[in-house]
Structure 1
Amino acid sequence: MITRRAFLAGGAGLGAAAALGVPPAQATATSASTRALRRAPLSDPFRLGVASGEPVPDGVVLWTRLAPDPLAADGLGGMPSRPVAVQWQLARDENFRHVVRQGVETARPEEAHSVHAEPGGLQPGAEYFYRFRAEGEISPVGRTVTAPASGIRSRALNLSFTSCADYQTGWFTAYRRMAEDEPDLIAFLGDYIYEYGDYKYPVRDQAGGECLDLAGYRLRHAQHKADPELQLAHAVAPWAVVWDDHDIENAWAGDVPEQPDPPFLRRRADAFQAYYENMPLRRAQRPQGSSLRLHRTLRWGAVANLHLLDTRQYRDLYACTGRSGTVGADCAERLAPNRTILGQEQEAWLESRLKDSAATWDLLGQQVFMMEMDWTNGEGKGYSNEGWDGYVASRDRLTAAIEATKRNAVVLTGDVHSHWAGEVKRSYQDPESKSVAVELVTTSVTSAGDGLDEYPNTGVLLAENPHVKFFNGRRGYVRAKLTEREMTVDFRSLSRVTEPYAPAYTSGSFVIEPGTPRLNQV
């Protein structure tokens, strides 16, 4: 019998396969190391695991990708250049005695033999289990849930979110710790992969060099998906994903790359294609060349709306320098009234979503610091023009919309490789300006290495930015529980990622109450 304990031990796939007569050697969870991947048998096409995502009241997306040889240099995972029929099953129990939906999808070579099944007609707010069969083999088992029905406020949302998983800089222990919490939904806020080439002193060796084409992006995604900790997190709960810069290229802004790169739109199209192939997204989100509409809303009954934003594809070029990441840059350009980080269409879409919302909470899942942040210690001001400080008018329009619609807005942010929490002000020029939203910034899975709980200048930064209430510089994730009465938040940190299996600890806890956009420390 497959139990939750088996899931959390990382053995769901092994137990399911053994119960169905698959030899244990083929069902063992894939090792994260390159050598172990090369030694393992190449007959199992499910070595990238399974995933689900995009839960709605009557359906969900089920994902897998066939790849018996995940590290094949051509990025195709060792699959033949022909379509393959893939059966899927969805059941109410781990042992598949009560199968409620099943079907067949065609895994095609032009989409790297990925599968995006979309079963419908499911029960709202229900737990399901799923698996796939192809080429005479059976996949690991995944667990998923559907969203509660519209109008339901009695079902809490247990949400975990994180960002920034650089394979070379550490072990993916944070994924396992998230899985142990058994959330209803995991939100990933960008940098699922890093496109960089090899580091000089990596913690783990990655396959392939810098991602420059479709084969390179497919290979990088495959190596990540072969990691057992990431597979476990995908198998435990549905995911909602958005990208940031490293999913394509560091610091890209709209049609402009970080460095002169004449074929950038071709590179972006390849990255978008690989991203779609490897994420549990709906078929309607297939990219159209170098365009992919990723902003969307997921609803959890009447408790919460999760508005997933894209701050990369439609943004104006960086202010002050034209390039990203420059702390200390300040100029009139960042205050220009027509500047936008979301693009006009996405701004209008988000405002309409806020106007139409009847949920207790409106979550904005996005990538970069929204709060104003003076990064210069002492006299003077210094801003990062990669975040919303480089797009002040765009932030002003959004905070005005939140204030006008009287929404309980909570911004979920990634990117900066450390935990932060604070309050988004209507105006940062007025010390008496009220808060209109709370911002929760998650640290990274691995990026920036082990980190520290506190850095020498942490106290100065917090003192000079009084709307910022919390910092922790370790790796990890954030978990939250949302009800109609309150939102409780735990910042979960790991003491190390340069070695595997560090325990997680709570470095800060807060409560947010509807109608009061403030952080109350527990």
Structure 2
Amino acid sequence: MPEAPHTAASSPLARAVGRRSLLVGSLALGAAGALTVPAAAAPARPGRRLPGDPFTLGVASGDPDHDGFVLWTRLAVDPHAAGGLGGMPSRTFRVEWQVAADDRFRRIVRHGVAQARPQSAHSVHVELSGLPAGREYWYRFRVDGHVSPAGRTRTAPHPFSFGEPLTMGFVSCSQFEHGYFTSYRRLAEDEPDLILHLGDYQYEYKKGDYTIPGGNPRDHEGPETVSLADYRHRYAQYRSDPDLRAAHAAAPWLVVFDDHEVENNWAGTVPEEGSDTPSTAAFLKRRAAAFQAYYENMPLRRTSLPHGPGMQLYRRIRWGRLANFHMLDTRQFRDDQACGDGYKNCAAADDPSRTITGGVQEKWLIEGFRRSAARWDILGQQVFFGQRDRDAGPLKVTSMDAWDGYTASRERITRGWVDARVRNAVVLTGDVHAHWAGDLELDYDDPSARPVGSELVCSSVTTGGDGADGDGTHPWFKHNPALKFYSNQRGYVLTRIDRAQMKADFKTVPTVRTPGAAASTKATYVIEDRVPGLHQTYLRPYTKPGTLTATPDLDRQTVEAETAP
């Protein structure tokens, strides 16, 4: 079959990342003519040919198992077209897919055809199984003579094997308007085996609604996202970013949403405005639209296909005997935030009946602890888990949107892993637009309490703007001794996990106002096997004069900032 012109120079991803050429160009497409399927399955091409490249949103993979993974793409000849369907004709396209054991696609191990339907915004989800465990693969798609960029993915180790050490990065909070997605690009260049996105992949606001000091470097298109067309259009704008596409093509992803994939600070069936408004029915309609668009744009298995305003997102991914990843949903089943949300001294936060996970998910998680034989049990979740009291006096003033607003729920889950004798418990967190690290305890008010786990919190990719460098401390440390590290620059966390330890490098970039900044390691922490708690092994010196600057609060509710006491 003749191919449309497609060269390394013409592909924005071909210039992305270095060795392995995760992404296309002459290596991945040198064998483009070999991307075929048996004649009986050759895709029909009714109607006119597509007017341009339909792979402008890139490719992705996710939810790896020991024998397979999910492959994803979404067709869009014009990501910015009104209506949210990427300028695609309103008909079904048969999309060829191909998986290879090498980046030149000389050793094809699987191929087939998937349907890209207008009802699902021409998204494609291919679930593969039956592949050898612990292997690296490359994949690509073709439709109507156009060949996609290539992506790199892998299967997890065999359930009875530790496999090789795991390089895993995690990110959160990528507000398109607040800067360039440099951290995605730098994470892709680190060639991780696995990437976790812990929420706020996209933001719902219209242009001008969420601005940072000095003005936003770029703008959202369209209105605040409410309808399915709105959400589809917004995801297309985000996924047209070349740095984000590079990160998706670099490794399989595990994703969970937080609030901004729907709207700010939603809780269960309660919209941001609160339960005493007449907008709950409208909110559930909005939630259904948001969930549908989220699924269409993420490499998720069909078990996560939404049903109206409901979606099965919490799940467990086993990385051999090395790690269990318990991916949580702390939005869909939570009680409404107590005391009107925000930072409060709130007795209702300690109500034992309140939950941030819902009873079914909590039971599922604790049962997972009991059955675990993994070296590391890792919770991938959205909001700050450990206690952060912002008041140095006798009052306890904490965030009602985080686990501090659901203390009994936090204690039940913490005690669940302690009672199950989980070997190493680590919580990974996003949401707060700054790097944090701390120990986890059963009783944060007991000065003699010993760590029972660790929490690693990644900064935002862009949200809040540049932030500022610092010395790794925060004024809250004085009355929150479990907190160990803080940085107010944007970035991501890169970890290396093996049998003996989990090492976390807190990566930062000096600016997101312009693209292309270099990333550096601000601090490195190590968690040793069977030794709960964090140990700092490196801290980059702070040499800039001045003090930390406050950035807009993550919830846009008050003038109190995450970065100021």
Q: Is the 8 A contact 1:155 1:303 kept in 2?
A: no
Which of 60, 79, 88 in structure 2 is aligned with 1:79? 88
- For 1:360 and 1:333, locate their aligned partners in 2 and report how far apart those are by CA, in whole Å: 36
2:173 paired residue among 144, 164, 171? 164
Q: Distance in 2 between matches of 1:288 and 1:497?
A: 37
Q: Which amino acid aligns with 1:235?
A: A
- Residue 238 of structure 2 corresponds to residue 219 of structure 1: no
- Quick check: 1:56–1:146 contact (8 Å CA) kept in 2? yes
Moved more, 195-204 or 161-170: 195-204
Matched, 1:433 2:449: yes
> What does 1:29-428 align with in structure 2 at a 5 Å threshold?
42-199=51-208, 201-259=215-273, 260=277, 261-262=279-280, 263-321=282-340, 324=341, 326-327=342-343, 329-377=344-392, 380-407=395-422, 408-428=424-444
User: What is the identity, as a one-letter code, of the residue corresponding to 1:218?
Assistant: R
Q: Which amino acid aligns with 2:179?
A: G
CA distance in 2, matches of 1:365, 1:18: 35
Secondary structure of the residue aligned to 2:192 is coil
TM superposition score normalised by structure 1: 0.92
Contact preservation (8 Å) 1:364, 1:411: yes
* Contact 2:266–2:331 (CA under 8 A) maintained in structure 1: yes
Displacement after TM superposition at 1:330 (Å): 1.7
Q: TM-score, normalized by length of structure 2?
A: 0.85
Of the candidates 460, 463, 477, which is equivalent to residue 444 of structure 1?
460
**Secondary structure of residue in 1 paired with 2:338:** coil
Aligned length: 498
Deviation at 1:189, TM superposition (A): 0.1
Tell me the distance in 2 between the aligned counterparts of 1:381 and 1:125: 47
Is the 1:169–1:202 contact (alpha carbons within 8 Å) kept by the matching residues of 2?
yes
> Percent same amino acid among aligned pairs?
50
Q: Are the counterparts in 2 of residues 225 and 231 from structure 1 also a CA contact under 8 Å?
A: yes
Q: Shift of residue 515 of structure 1?
A: 1.4
Deviation at 1:7, TM superposition (A): 5.3
1:306-355 CA deviation, whole Å, 9 max, x = no partner? 1000000000011122xx3x11x122211111110000000000001111
Which letter maps to 2:332?
Q
1:154 Cα deviation after fit: 4.0
Distance in 2, Cα, partners of 1:442 & 1:18:
35
Deviations 1:192-250 (A, max 9, x none): 00001112632112211210110110011111111100111111100000000001000
Amino acid across the alignment from 2:311: L
CA distance in 2, matches of 1:165, 1:354: 31
Assess if the C-alpha contact under 8 Å between 2:28 and 2:103 holds in 1: no
Q: 1:31 is matched with which residue?
A: none
Q: Note if contact 1:16-1:140 (Cα within 8 Å) is conserved in structure 2.
A: no
1:276-300 CA distances to partner (integer Å, 9 max, x unpaired)? Answer: 0000001221100000010001111
Equivalent AA in structure 1 for residue 227 of structure 2: D
Report if aligned partners of 2:32, 2:147 keep a CA contact under 8 Å in 1: no
Return the match for 1:503 from 518, 528, 549: 518
Question: CA 1:274 to 1:459, structure 2 compared with 1: closer, same or farther past 3 Å?
Answer: closer
What secondary structure, in the 3-state scheme, does the structure 2 residue paired with 1:264 have? helix
Q: SS at the partner of 2:462? A: coil
Q: Which secondary structure state, in structure 2, belongs to the residue aligned with residue 320 of structure 1?
A: helix
8 Å Cα contact 1:341-1:394 kept in structure 2: yes
Q: Residue 489 of structure 1 corresponds to which residue in structure 2?
A: 504
C-alpha spacing 1:208/1:304, structure 2 compared with 1 (3 Å) = same
Conserved in 2, the CA contact under 8 Å of 1:16 and 1:141?
no
Give the distance between the partners of 1:512 and 1:468, measured in 2 at CA.
Answer: 15
Contact 1:6–1:15 under 8 Å retained in 2: no
- Counterpart CA distance in 2 for 1:429 and 1:344 is 26
How far did 1:70 drift?
0.5
Which stretch has the larger CA shift, 476-485 or 256-265? 256-265
Counterpart contact for 2:14–2:24, Cα < 8 Å: no
- Partner of 2:339: helix, strand, or coil? coil
Is 2:61–2:253's contact at 8 Å kept on the other side of the alignment? Answer: yes
Aligned counterpart, 2:560: none
SS of the equivalent of 1:52 reads strand
- Does the 8 Å CA contact 2:166/2:496 hold for their aligned counterparts? yes
Report the Cα offset of residue 301 of structure 1.
0.7
Gaps of 5+ in 2: 1-6, 34-49, 538-565
Supply the AA of the counterpart residue of 1:267.
R
Q: Is the 8 A contact 2:167 2:495 kept in 1?
A: yes
Task: Provide the C-alpha distance between the structure 2 equivalents of 1:11 and 1:237, rounded to a whole number of angstroms.
Answer: 9
Amino acid at match of 1:120: S
**Deviation per residue, 1:108-154 (Å, 9 max, x gap):** 11100000001221110000000001122111111101100012124
- What RMSD, in angstroms, separates the aligned Cα atoms of the two structures? 1.9
The secondary structure found in structure 1 opposite 2:124 is strand
Aligned residue number for residue 36 of structure 1: none
Compared CA separation, residues 192 and 330, structure 1 to 2 (3 A) = same
| Counterpart in the other structure of 1:38 | none
| Preserved contact between residue 31 and residue 106 of structure 2 (Cα < 8 Å) | no
Q: 1: distance between equivalents of 2:334 and 2:163?
A: 38
Conserved 8 A contact 2:14-2:25 = no
Distance in 1, matches of 2:453 and 2:324, equals 15
Instruction: Please list every run of 5 or more consecutive structure 1 residues that lacks an aligned counterpart in the other structure.
Output: 23-40
CA distance in 1, matches of 2:185, 2:475: 34
Tell me the amino acid that sits aligned with residue 492 of structure 2: Y
Q: Distance in 2 between matches of 1:349 and 1:472?
A: 34
Structure 2 CA distance, aligned partners of 1:334 and 1:310?
Answer: 19
Q: How far apart in 2 are the matches of 1:421 and 1:458? A: 11
The one-letter code matched in structure 2 to 1:319 is A
> Matches of 2:237 and 2:14 in 1, distance apart?
26
Contact 1:183 1:237 survives alignment (8 Å): yes
In 2 relative to 1, CA 21–361 (structure 1 residues): closer, same or farther, beyond 3 Å? closer
Q: Secondary structure at the match of 1:435?
A: coil
